Amino acid sequence: MAGYTEPDPRDDLSGTDVARKVIILARESGLKLELSDILVQSLVSEPLRACSSAEEYMQQLPNFDEDVTKERNDAEAAGEVLRYVGVVDVVNEKGMVELRRYKREHPFAQLSGSDNIIAFTTTRYNNQPLIVRGPGAGAEVTAGGVFSDILRLASYLGAPS
């Protein structure tokens, strides 16, 4: 493994982490959604969910490659790529996590490593969504986020700025 996932890849592939991010974005957009409201397409096959450890999961995983390989090959034949995405649909007040196909020119198709990307499609940014892209994991990003939260909390509690 390249170190892009949690120690147990099922934590990422189940969609729960993406669903949490969808909840954050949905709430910031004014929606009153709970984690249980998010429709999640898990990438962990049903039989693999019963594995007792990450090691067992990784050993069994090749037995379930055929379906995903076919999806990837179908996408490639159409000039597309597969991406596991979270969607906040403000108009219909719902969120979802699912595997989608994107043309190679789409910004989502350009991601590499542990980068994250968000596309804001609004009235103003309808034909060309506003794209925000950056690192999604790692010690520096996490430390920066924690430090930012501490500064915001200190300000809220009345610390001089």
Active site members = 21
Cα distance between residue 81 and residue 71, in whole Å: 9
DSSP assigned state of 122: -
Residue the block writes with tokens 């969609």: 15
Pair 85, 101: CB distance under 8 Å: no
* Sheet of 94-103, strand order: 39-40, 94-103, 80-89
Q: Is 3 left (phi over 0), alpha (psi -120 to 50) or beta?
A: left
